[in-house]
Structure 1
Amino acid sequence: MTILEVNNLEKVYTTRFGGQKIQALANVSFSVEKGEYVAIMGESGSGKTTLLNILAALDKPTGGAVVLEGHNLSKIRESEIAAFRRDNLGFVFQDFNLLDTFSLQDNIFLPLVLAGKPYPEMKARLTPIAEKLGIKNLLAKYPYEVSGGQKQRAAVARALITNPRLILADEPTGALDSKATDELLRLFGEINREGQTLLMVTHSVKAASHAGRVLFIKDGEVFHQIYRGNSSNEELYQKISDTLTMLATGGDRP
């Protein structure tokens, strides 16, 4: 079942001075099936961040449409978009986006508090997630008291607690050391195998090699994609590396 459809997406920015037009995205089309794990890669300036912002309903396209389970994001009223984002999307960021004045538990609870959920329901939702992510004994601590990997696991818990249709991850391993990166990628794989749909923007070949499909963006367009198939992480890593080399050297599409 298709959960996300991106149809002929375009984004053109007009500079403040001189009125110059810059095309960030051009005719981007792809779909994501329920339960898929998709990585998006490309060089800096390729349009990845713009694409992610539109998928997150933080920006609107100049043309085309993003449809999440039948909802055209561009058609949702401005007064309703924050609630739609909170109820349907989970976010994991490179810099964690945790509030230092809140405990890890309160950071994780925040989207449910904003949705008006009662405390017993919030606690019931958190317990199994905290156990799965190995942070059950850290919930009373504050972000500045825990490691980067523990912060990111709290951020993943916050993304999961709303039972989102789609988790969007923006460079989730970018601020982590190798051990914390391995642990986060293991958790992402486990979460995905349990049915959660994941879409991750990353520069990391290692992170992308854990996905089921890798989309490559070049000059604002989908340039190529690789499906895992029966490939191991190591084999997919090599295929991704080869494609990135081709992108950097101006080679033709595979």
Structure 2
Amino acid sequence: MSLLDVKNIEKIYTTRFGGQKVRALKDVSFTVDRGEYISIMGESGSGKTTLLNILAALDKPTKGEVLLEGKSIVSIKEKDIAEFRRNNLGFVFQDFNLLDTFSAEDNIYLPLVLARTDHKEMEKRLEPIARKLGISDILKKYPYEISGGQKQRVAIARALITGPKLILADEPTGALDSKASDQLLNLFSQLNKEGQTILMVTHSVQAASKAGRVLFIKDGQVFHQIYRGDMSGDQMYQKISTALTALSTGGGSRE
């Protein structure tokens, strides 16, 4: 069943100096089914971050529509956007976006505090998430006291605690070493198996190879996509690598 429908999205920016128009996205359409795990890949400047910002309701398209469970996120009033994000979306960023003056626990609670959730309810939600992510023993510590991998787990807990329909991840392994990256990707796979829908922007072939589908963005368009099907992780990795090589050298065909 479709959770997210992206229909004919176009984004045009006007440069500050000279007033030139730059098309960042052109006629982008795809759907995300409930429970899918999708990676979005593309070279720098391809439009993938612009696309993620539109899906996160951080930016609006020049044309087109984005529907979450059949409801338009493009037409949400400015005063209601923050509440919409809290109630529907979870975010995981490359640089964690944790507040250094808050403990790990308070960073996780933040979206619930903003939603004025009862403290007992917050504690009830946090306990199973912290146990699953292996961060129960660091909840009272501050971001500067924990490792990068632990920071990212705290960020994931913050994303999960609102019970989001969709997790949007922007280069989540970008600031992690290989061991922490592997742990994070295994965690994402586990969450997806439990039913969580995940959409991840990444440059990493290793990260993308964990997904069930990979969308390739080139020159602001969905140029190609790969479905995992019954491929192994190694086969998926090789298929993605081949596709990236073809895209960077001008080969391949738009799908």
1:134 aligns with 2:110: no
How many Å apart are 1:74 and its aligned residue? Answer: 1.3
For the residues of structure 1 that align with 2:172 and 2:109, how far apart are their CA atoms? 20
Q: CA RMSD in A?
A: 0.7
By how many angstroms is 1:253 displaced?
A: 1.3
Map of 2:70 onto structure 1: 70
C-alpha separation in 1, matches of 2:252 and 2:235 = 21
The equivalent of 2:124 in structure 1 is 124
Distance in 2 (alpha carbons) for counterparts of 1:157 and 1:246? 37
Alpha-carbon distance in structure 2 between the residues aligned to 1:121 and 1:70: 29
Q: Partners in 1 of 2:71 and 2:82 — Cα distance?
A: 14
Q: CA deviation at 1:252?
A: 2.8
Residue 102 of structure 1 deviates from its aligned partner by: 0.3
The aligned counterpart of 1:41 is: 41
Deviations 1:64-116 (A, max 9, x none): 01111122111111110110011100000000000000000000000000000
Which residue of the partner structure matches residue 84 of structure 1?
84
How far, CA to CA, are the matches of 1:204 and 1:231 in structure 2?
Answer: 18
What letter is aligned with 1:251?
G
Q: Distance in 1 between matches of 2:232 and 2:161?
A: 30
- Is there any run of 5+ residues in structure 1 with no aligned partner, and where? none
Q: Percent identity?
A: 71
TM-score for both structures, normalised by structure 1? 0.99
1:189 alignment counterpart = 189
1:45-76: CA deviation from partner (whole Å, max 9, x where unpaired) = 00000000000000000000111112211111
**Cα distance in 2 between the residues matched to 1:189 and 1:17:** 44
Which amino acid is 1:24 matched to?
A: A
> Which consecutive unaligned segments of at least 5 residues does structure 2 have?
none
For residues 63 and 127 of structure 1, the distance between their equivalents in structure 2, rounded to whole angstroms, comes to: 43
Q: Which amino acid in structure 2 is aligned with residue 19 of structure 1?
A: G
Aligned to 1:180: 180
Instruction: Calculate the TM-score normalised by the size of structure 2.
Output: 0.99
Q: Quote how far apart the aligned CAs of 1:19 are.
A: 1.2
